[in-house]
A and B are shown apart, each in its own frame.
Chain A
Amino acid sequence: MSADARQLRGRVAIVGVGESDELGRLPHKSALALHMEAAHNALADAGLQKRDVDAVFTSGRNMANDVPEYLGIRPRFIGGTQVGGCSFILHVEHAMAAIQAGLCEVALITHGESGYSRIAMPAPRWGDDSTNSQFEGVWGTAGPSTGYGFLTTRHMHEYGTTKAQMAEVAVATRKWAALNPKAFARDPLTIDDVLNSRLIAWPFNLLDCCLVTDGGGACVVTSAARARDLPKPPVYVLGSGECATHQMVSQMPSFDRWDAAEESGARAFAMSGARHADIDLAMFYDAFTIVPILALEALGFCKRGEGGPFVSGQRTAPGGDFPMNTNGGGLSYTHTGMYGIFTIIEAVRQLRGECGARQVADARTAVCHGTGGVWSAAATMIVSTET
């Protein structure tokens, strides 16, 4: 961590967040329309107008061209980093750098995917001559549902992590979803329900896997100085970090830990100066039940191999001592494809005290953390009501 990076602590804030008007199964809305609704709602939340926006960040093929046109914005700073679901957490860091450099002042970060209905979605990415197809697709892989399992199996072998521990995450997250009217899946769930759901790709059963939904999300980032003049309390970015180690899962450097997240997490904590005990809320991208378990280890909330015991006994559920994924997560609230933006939206709402039945009491500091690709990229961000 350089001294320069530490100077970024608390210099920008998230001032507006919003989802698309609806989440779930939306065959009547295209992916870009979902971006647009989310952008509208985040700007309204921020008390800003579209004309105030001078930077647009988004993710997905061609989206850095498509979104500004669709929204009628002529940005002077464009961010199109696409490393999968955590891209939007990285975008906050990139917006922070651009704002601090004077290249823009108000950054709009948008996401929209018709993940279930597939309305106006880009075609599949890889041709038969890609490295992915030649060295992975040929083996009948099924994207993330096979890719995320390789680390899981090795982690079980090295540390004794169990499927019952993984199921604890699904059950706890469902309890939070029951408190969120916007969540897609709200019926109670038991450990046995998860273990007895049909096999997708061992070690994952269906209820170890995130939802497949349609929806959009957006947030607005500006300087801390400007944020103080806006109607809602600013949520300051205290620290952030990013890392990428591979693209194909077979190139992952190690299968018993999450290297990219260990690096992104260390950078975010170093920039923020926060201690783990300061964290009131964890928003960890839960593409599969194993992912938050590995995030806990990689970010240093427990040691390598101790993530399974950490989540046992419903510790992350409502009433537990470690509130995690209080919106209901990708497992039960929504998972459009690239879920990362929703970790930011929920963290901001919790820190503002807007979460009603699921509100975490006295939440002041939160960590958002996401995965991109197949454990490929990681982004970590620490946000707080105070600088």
Chain B
Amino acid sequence: MADTYTGPIPKPTPETQPFWDAARQRRLVFQACDDCGTRYFYPRPLCPACLSRAVRWIDASGRARLHTFVINHRPPRNYPVPAPFVIGIVELEEGPRMMSHIVGVAPDPQALRCDLPLEVVFEDITAEITLPKFRPRTDG
């Protein structure tokens, strides 16, 4: 990790820093609006549904489903994960969707299916940045 990671390293903004700080602590967080109830990802300072400022951070369970996916055979130059690899749109149990890697499963359309149950795993790429990835859930 640290000096050896050759992929793009996310650079947090003030609005996204709490997400990355939580990931560093092995916590997956999203936001919810106290006024309209909308739960959302990615981080924004006002609710994207109603523009309320009454938004707060919530810890996700880490349980999710694979909403949809692609298998990338042509990654960017110097990308540290060997191709092919699986990029998923993951739907958290709590509702919000996010993009992530699907690990622990062959990068083969025969081995994957939409709605596959998943769970979060964390991978440190630098001293500051930890990536939340997902793997097939073992408890069904």
A129 within 8 A of B: yes
Interface string of B63-100 (1 = CB under 8 A from A): 00001111111111001010011010100000001111
CA distance A149 to B88 in the complex (A): 10
CB of A229 within 8 Å of the partner chain: no
CA distance A150 to B71 in the complex (A): 10
Contacts of B81 in A (CB 8 A): 140
Bound CA–CA A141/B71 (angstroms): 10
Chain A, interface size: which category? 20 to 34
- Tell me whether A202 and B87 are in contact in the complex, defined as CB-CB below 8 angstroms, given that A128-B10, A133-B10, A140-B75 are known contacts: no
CB of B26 closer than 8 Å to a CB of A: no
Contact digits for B18-33, partner A, Cβ 8 Å, 1 yes 0 no: 0000000000000000
Please report the C-alpha to C-alpha distance between residue A150 and residue B70 in the assembled complex, in whole angstroms. Answer: 6
**What does the 1/0 interface line of B123-135 toward A look like (CB < 8 Å)?**
0000000010000
Contact between chains at B70 and A146 (CB < 8 Å) = yes
**Complex: A203 Cα to B114 Cα, angstroms:** 13
Q: Which residue of B lies closest to A156 (CB)?
A: B114
Residues of A near B113 (CB, < 8 A) are 157
Which of A129, A203, A248, A255 lies in contact with B12, CB distance below 8 A? A129
Contact with B along A331-356 (1 / 0, CB 8 A): 00000000000000000000000000
Chain A residue with Cβ nearest B87: A139
Q: Which residues of B contact A (CB under 8 A)?
A: 7-13, 16, 42, 67-76, 79, 81, 84-85, 87, 89, 97-101, 109, 113-115, 131
Residues of A within 8 A of B (CB): 127-129, 131, 133-142, 145-146, 149-151, 153-154, 157, 198-203, 248-251, 255
List 20 A–B pairs whose Cβ atoms lie within 8 Å, in order of A's numbering. A128-B11, A129-B10, A129-B11, A129-B13, A138-B131, A139-B87, A140-B85, A141-B87, A142-B75, A142-B76, A145-B74, A146-B70, A146-B87, A153-B68, A153-B70, A157-B113, A199-B73, A199-B84, A201-B72, A202-B71
